[in-house]
Chain A
């Protein structure tokens, strides 16, 4: 089963082609913005490197969020467009899962994994996983200080592009808290592996975790 996975939810654009337990080709470009201009070229590079074509794909996979609203739209519009174009099933993976599964089992052992993603608005998208990578609660938006409560739940391993916002909250020297060496952003190769073991999503709905900013008129 050939799976094409890609991600544009955070500060990168990545794509990977996966078949029979291995990655045939992958690309990751770190970028703050501009994913819309490179995604399809990156995808085509990956297919070309693997000697594959769109017509030979069996499944697509991408990130559902949370993340940059713009990044989510770029990735999900492309996924929905490709799915429609090729009548392909799509597996949606949360950004939390994608980041969590990028952490090695050795690092995670005996620790609660806290995925903290930078919302770029001063707070964090947060979700905690146990050492088997089962989520312990729904993802949520939290101020950095509000994350202190996780310290009471056991030894922590923190990962994600928002991890740096928690340095002050937990302190550099806290023995109960460790900082993961993992990249902390979603990678298409990880998403592809996850997608191979899952059922396709019936509807590819974005996870924003934040309502649109809009104010009702007075009165």
Chain B
């Protein structure tokens, strides 16, 4: 799905989290929102997912105004920073949650839900862990379960908030490839937030460098490396 962000701004009380930003995300792209903390990248992601409403501006999904859509109507697969798995449910129940929450008319039958959950568990290469609880999983496994849960609702886009933030270096590398594979397989427009420039540069097709609620530069990783648009970008990507 093609996402257009048109002059979006966000005020929290008297502080501006986003000064009007505009951004065009082509369908099927893997996009990184890169910036230091407080740069507004998570706010932008949450606005895309419908968890936060912009103070002004519009969001267009495939050319259609989506600004007023509720979080449920957005159908965005969202992976939270600490994964936010339902701790009182098994992995199976976590992944099935979105399918079970559908209205009766569109809810798949039980056997179909089980089949789809199993397929997703295979996609994240953890076919055996359906009966476990989140606190019995490693950090990397949790991240993959959160990804499977987000994919279960057949989302229109995938939004990830610091998906590798809480993991050690080795697991990070593995999961980076995992996310790339899942993106390529599903073809979903994917936006992830990162504060680590190496991660963003290596994984994304398109990098959006942000600072203080503004977009500093948009471009392919190689272009940003070759031609940083400002001193801030130059300092940030060499840091």
Q: Do A and B bind each other?
A: no
Residues of B within 8 A of A (CB): none
